[in-house]
Amino acid sequence: MLDQIRQSLDSIAAKHRTRVLRAVEMRSDGRLLHDGRELLDLSSNDYLGLSQHPLLVKRSGEYLRRFGAGAGASRLITGTSAQHLAIEDKVAAFKRSEAALLFATGWQANAAVIPALAKAAKGTAIFADRLVHNSVHAGCRAAQAEVHFFDHNDYDHLHALLQDHREAPARLIITESVFSMDGDRADLPRLNTLAAQHDAMLYVDEAHATGVLGAGGAGLTADHPGAQIVMGTFSKALGGFGAYVACPQLVRDYLVNMCAGLIFTTAPPPAVLGAMDAALELVPGMDAERAHLAALGEQLRKGLQQLGYDTLDSTTQVIPLVVGPEAEAMALGEHLLDNGIAALPIRPPTVPKGTSRIRFALRSTLGAPDVEQVLAAVASWRKA
Ligand SMILES: Cc1ncc(COP(=O)(O)O)c(C=O)c1O
């Protein structure tokens, strides 16, 4: 087997797709330390800078000291504490849902909840946007269901697929509200209408919208309610770790009984819950930070477009600079590093072939001069 593993790695290297792990240290001011160098950080998803916020650090420490380092068991054994239930109530209030359920990570939530939902009705048809995250693909693969991918944000295509499969016993539509690699948005009003028309359940992954968009930072589903299942993470704008599904009580009860990724895994530990608690307290009051982040996004997008680059349909804090070939994206990433900027290249299979890019992820702790620095570095690459 080791021979095949080596061959597999060789073939990844031949396509210039080798990935390596780098050690970095996050700083509180939108910078990070890498190899002894301080770099401007435009790669992390810590959109509000909460990972270093004193309240998250303090409450996480308090929970750790009061309740210990681990949860000790899965939720259905002895792993459910009063703190888990309290956070779930707070998530439900934040998302205006009837109930919520915590998961270890966002990846695990999507990979586990989708097959569990599909199990409720044999022959469920799933309709997912082609650009959904790897974890949704994993969930779809694990589901014993027919899976149909519609072209990205193409709701005529989705409508046609729903028509073609109207005989299926149940239908589940899956999208992200903000797409992780393109930074564009789903049209939730249109999806709500389609779901209602075709008697489908709508599942929205709000990983990149939670904390950043929607009233009080509660995501785009807060402004356009209708989705029955809303998944979100604590690992991005909420600065910590873990994920949730906000849903009707009926669905929560069902998942507690049927979702293997909840039942057969240890419950999230106290320190993680402490950070969640603090983030849920802070985020609704961070409108000024959200407005600043939106302004930084406008500045960067406009600047990149003026330099002649394609930023796709981004309207958020995630801004792709598409260069196309993988080698070119790698070269631009290196050039940015040389200019003190960590904005790492994203290549296939994470994004479609021929759309390798730098994915800029902005953060409210950055300022307009930081964005100017990025634009100057990009401009000098063209000239190099
Ligand atoms: C859209 C989307 N969903 C889910 C996840 C997984 O979240 P987590 O990092 O908490 O596992 C990510 C993050 O990588 C994501 O971008």
Q: What is the CATH number of the domain that holds 130?
A: 3.40.640.10
Residues 196 and 301 in one domain: no
Residues 122 and 87 in one domain: yes
pLDDT for the residue numbered 28: 79
pLDDT for the residue numbered 35: 87
Q: pLDDT band at residue 137, thresholds of 50, 70 and 90?
A: very high
Residues 303 and 211 in one domain: no
Residues 249 and 344 in one domain: no
Q: Is residue 32 part of a domain?
A: yes
Lowest mean pLDDT among 12-21, 135-144, 162-171, 353-362: 12-21
pLDDT for the residue numbered 29: 82
Q: pLDDT band at residue 41, thresholds of 50, 70 and 90?
A: very high
Q: Is residue 7 part of a domain?
A: no
Is 287 one of the annotated active-site residues of the chain? no
Q: Is residue 181 part of a domain?
A: yes
Does 56 sit in the ligand 1 pocket, CB within 6 Å? no
Residues 265 and 329 in one domain: no
Q: Is residue 111 part of a domain?
A: yes
Q: What does the pLDDT average to over 154-183? A: 97
Ligand 1 atom with the shortest distance to the CA of 233: 10
Q: Structural domain of residue 28, as residue ranges? A: 20-48+287-383
The answer, yes or no, to whether residue 96 has pLDDT greater than 70, is: yes
Question: 29 burial class (0-12, 13-18, 19+ CB within 10 angstroms)?
Answer: middle
pLDDT for the residue numbered 383: 58
Ligand 1: centre distance to CA 233 (Å): 7
HEC readout, the chain: CHHHHHHHHHHHHHCCCCCCCCCEEECCCCEEEECCEEEEECCCCCCCCHHHCHHHHHHHHHHHHHHCCCCCCEHHHHHCCHHHHHHHHHHHHHHCCCEEEEECCHHHHHHHHHHHHHHCCCCCEEEEECCCCHHHHHHHHHCCCEEEEECCCCHHHHHHHHHHCCCCCCEEEEEECECCCCCCECCHHHHHHHHHHCCEEEEEECCCCCCCCCHHHCCHHHHCCCCCEEEEECCCCCCCCCEEEEECHHHHHHHHHHCHHHHCCECCCHHHHHHHHHHHHHHHHCHHHHHHHHHHHHHHHHHHHHCCCECCCCCCCEEEEEEECHHHHHHHHHHHHHCCEECCEECCCCCCCCCEEEEEECCCCCCHHHHHHHHHHHHHHHHC
Residues 279 and 293 in one domain: no
Could you report the per-residue pLDDT of 48-91, keeping only the tens digit for each?
A: 999 999 999 999 999 999 999 999 999 999 999 999 999 999 99
Residues 269 and 336 in one domain: no
Are 47 and 286 a contacting pair, CB within 8 Å? no
Show which of 284, 317, 334 is a domain's final residue.
284
Nearest alpha-carbon partner for 233 in 188, 181, 177, 184: 177
Is 95 one of the annotated active-site residues of the chain? no
CA distances from 93 to 238, 247, 277, 332 (A): 16, 11, 13, 43
Residues 202 and 84 in one domain: yes
Residues 148 and 165 in one domain: yes
Ligand 1: centre distance to CA 174 (Å): 14
Q: Is residue 10 part of a domain?
A: no
Q: Is residue 346 part of a domain?
A: yes
Is 176 one of the annotated active-site residues of the chain? yes
If one counts the domains in the chain, the total is 2
Are 86 and 224 a contacting pair, CB within 8 Å? no
Does 41 sit in the ligand 1 pocket, CB within 6 Å? no
Is 236 one of the annotated active-site residues of the chain? yes
Q: What does the pLDDT average to over 321-337? A: 93
Are 126 and 114 a contacting pair, CB within 8 Å? yes
Ligand 1: centre distance to CA 62 (Å): 27
Does 180 sit in the ligand 1 pocket, CB within 6 Å? yes
Q: Is residue 8 part of a domain?
A: no
Show which of 284, 302, 324 is a domain's final residue.
284
Residues 261 and 201 in one domain: yes
Ligand 1: centre distance to CA 343 (Å): 18
Residues 157 and 225 in one domain: yes
Does 133 sit in the ligand 1 pocket, CB within 6 Å? yes
Ligand 1: centre distance to CA 3 (Å): 32
Structure tokens that stand for 352 in this block: 């479609």
Q: If you take atom 9 of ligand 1, which residue's CA is the nearest one?
A: 106
Q: Select the more confidently predicted residue: 168 or 17.
A: 168
The answer, yes or no, to whether residue 384 has pLDDT greater than 80, is: no
* Mean pLDDT over each residue of the chain, to the nearest integer: 96
Are 272 and 61 a contacting pair, CB within 8 Å? no
Show which of 236, 255, 284 is a domain's final residue.
284
Q: Is residue 1 part of a domain?
A: no
Q: What does the pLDDT average to over 123-128? A: 97
The answer, yes or no, to whether residue 16 has pLDDT greater than 80, is: no
Does 124 sit in the ligand 1 pocket, CB within 6 Å? no
State percent of the chain over pLDDT 70. Answer: 99
Lowest mean pLDDT among 151-155, 272-276, 301-305, 327-331: 327-331
Residues 262 and 308 in one domain: no
The domain that holds 328 is classified in CATH as 3.90.1150.10
